[in-house]
Structure 1
Amino acid sequence: MATWEVVTPRRVRLLTRLQRWSSNLGLVVLNTVLLRLLFPAAAVGMALSVNAQGWGLLNALAWPFWAEVLLAVVVLDFAIWVQHVLFHAVPALWRLHRVHHADLDYDLTTGARFHPLEIILSMLIKFAVIAALRPPVVAVILFEVILNAMAMFNHANVSLPPGVERPLRWLVVTPDMHRVHHSIEDDETNSNFGFNLSWWDRLLGTYRAQPRAGQQGETIGSRQPG
């Protein structure tokens, strides 16, 4: 993604990579160490434990394995969408999430810029969903790969041909779609909450196709410092 940003950038950067990447990647290191200390086995460990204990909704359903995997990935995706909405709607949570929106530029490192407390709360929410659902372990591994890959993709400062971008956003969140969410305008930042599947915003009325000022004229950031 970093190479793609260099080859075909979508917007001109306001700040140098050194100015932003040092702080953004510093948060990545801090959050990674913190998660490893608090939750050594992370979400996959929780899935192993839940499957061993026989908890969760899927224990009551005699579904084929492939259907369980598909359902689990979709449910976890929706749970992250709901979590994202809550982090915007609840003032105390927004104060944490604002760190993500305080980035004045937009590239793949923005997708990893989060307050440590938000990372911890997000993991606990994920644990709760896994405990309630009892997803197959492989589904949790698959979801974690998708979560991280799509966060890098839809935060990337890359340009997609319109003929590719328009149909693609009917299925997944594209960089142009998610960039609207990072607008300084309140109504725009409270839209396009998805990180992977674009369905939830379309179905639940939070979808916005483009920022009013256009992709090039949109101001990235938060009205209040993170």
Structure 2
Amino acid sequence: MTVFLLQNEPAIRMGFFLGVLVLMAAWEFAAPRRRMEIPRLLRWSNNITIVVVDTLLVRLTFPIVAVGLALMAEQKGWGLLNIFGAPGWLGFIVAVLALDLAIYLQHVMFHAVPALWRLHRMHHADLEFDVTTGLRFHPVEILLSMGIKLAVVAALGPPAVAVLVFEVLLNATAMFNHSNVRIPIGIDRVLRLLVVTPDMHRVHHSIHPVETNSNFGFNLPWWDRLLGTYRAQPREGHEEMTIGIEQFRTRRDLWIDRMLIQPVRGPASGYPINREEDDQR
């Protein structure tokens, strides 16, 4: 089974990606959380195009991706888990938790460093919040993210299967928690103890910086609670809250050409975590 999974990694990841995308899109149509004001054709065409660009750039830039590097580390005995000879089940659990924590910390870093925020704010500049928002990242951010992930894999030496499972989970949960779907409050309250829910992550896409700089988790919700970045609800409620950031609020800014040049447009003030206290609101 392990050999099969690793040999068919691209097909497995693509299958889960398309399956979750279609499932969440159908759920959004059937039970939306918020009314959408901007035509889906405008946003979806540009958001999906950017993920195609991101994928092609990663494949062209990196001769090896995370699963391949993990397999090489296993074969050559690289990384802490291989050095200490951790049993497979323990290595799997540690790997998934460590990789998820790394993604959380990376996310915080992209909010804390103004130069990195310039890249990451493209994700936040979407004027609506739905499944395609979870795909919308600047290509340079994606390349930096892959470099960080490869460094973590090389240092940790996780089982290749654990990396594959994590990659699939991260992609699936990113689409799930960005979806415009209605989940009963009681179910959401329980569900967010185990996974980041759409209502939990939507707070992170609020126009208010103090809310933008909360709920950084993509997959597991525990890091936000443990490290003090958890915020239960937006101040204006989910139906009335404004999505996005103060910059780039026209529909023209949703086009892919404008998205790609956003890092060099305007100041990077207002939202980075280390901004002046007077700017908080």
Q: Tell me the TM-score range normalised by the shorter chain.
A: over 0.9
| Aligned 8 A contact 2:77 2:83 in 1 | no
Offset of 1:19 from its aligned partner? Answer: 1.1
Measure, in 1, the Cα distance between the counterparts of 2:57 and 2:168. 19
1:148 has 2:165 as partner: no
Q: TM-score, normalised by structure 1?
A: 0.98
1:93-152 Cα deviation digits (max 9, x unpaired)? 000000000000000000000000000000000000001100000000000000100000
The yes-or-no answer on 1:176 pairing with 2:199 is yes
Which residue number corresponds to residue 276 of structure 2? none
Q: Per the alignment, in what secondary structure is the counterpart of residue 158 of structure 2?
A: coil
Structure 2 partner of 1:42 = 65
Q: Determine the C-alpha separation between the residues in 2 that align with 1:175 and 1:46.
A: 32
Structure 2 unaligned regions, length at least 5: 1-23, 249-261, 263-281
Match of 1:87, SS state, is helix
User: TM-score by structure 2 length?
Assistant: 0.79
In the alignment, which of 113, 118, 122 is matched to residue 90 of structure 1? 113
1:211 to 234, 247, 254: 234
Using the alignment, how far apart are the partners of 1:187 and 1:130 within structure 2? 32
Map of 1:1-226 to 2, 5 A cutoff?
1-225=24-248, 226=262
| Secondary structure in structure 1 of the residue aligned to 2:78 | coil
Aligned Cα RMSD in Å? 0.9
Structure 2 CA distance, aligned partners of 1:62 and 1:114? 37
Shift of 1:218: 0.7
**1:14 counterpart letter in structure 2:** E
Give CA deviations for 1:171-200 in whole Å, capped at 9, x if unaligned.
110000000000000000000000011000
CA distance in 2, matches of 1:37, 1:78: 27
Give the 3-state SS of the residue equivalent to 2:235 in structure 1: coil
CA contact (8 A) 2:47 2:133 kept: yes
- Residue 147 of structure 1 aligns to a residue whose secondary structure is helix
Letter in 2 for 1:200: W
Gaps of 5+ in 1: none
Counterpart amino acid of residue 161 in structure 2: V
> Letter of the aligned partner of 1:39 in structure 2?
F
Amino acid at match of 2:142: I
Q: Which has the larger radius of gyration?
A: 2
In 1: Cα distance, 2:25 partner to 2:62 partner: 29
Q: How many residues align?
A: 226
Quote the Cα distance in structure 2 between the aligned partners of 1:37 and 1:9.
37
Give the 4+ runs in structure 1 shifted more than 3 A. Answer: none
Alpha-carbon separation, structure 1, partners of 2:39 and 2:210: 28
With 113-122 and 56-65 compared, the bigger mean Cα shift is at 56-65
CA distance in 2, matches of 1:62, 1:53: 13
Percent identity of equivalent pairs: 65
SS of alignment partner, residue 58 of structure 2: helix
